[in-house]
Amino acid sequence: MPTLELYGYSSEEAERTVAMARALLLDLPFRNDIVFVLQGPTQVVAWDGSHRPFVRILTRSRERADMIKARLTRECDLEVVFIDFIPRTTN
């Protein structure tokens, strides 16, 4: 499940960014597996004080990360993190 986390966006900017991402990722065969994490307004501030919002892509698949990056890299700053997902066990 690729996860896109948004940091440094106002609530309105985050909603616009998600809408833009959905439009650009619409043709991906795994689009229904993608989830978005939106928090309340957050700020990402660089050392020099500039505002630096970005989208963090978390996924187990380099191939999926590359496909997402190829579509979003012109629209926003990106950070990619590769994860190991362990589902909850049930008894």
pLDDT, tens only, 47-61: 999 999 999 999 999
Q: Give the separation between CA 50 and CA 19, rounded to whole angstroms.
A: 25
Within-domain flag for 25: yes
CATH code for the domain of 32: 3.30.429.10
Please tell me the total count of domains within the chain: 1
Within-domain flag for 88: no
The arithmetic mean of pLDDT across residues 47-76, rounded, is 97
Q: Supply the pTM of this predicted model.
A: 0.86
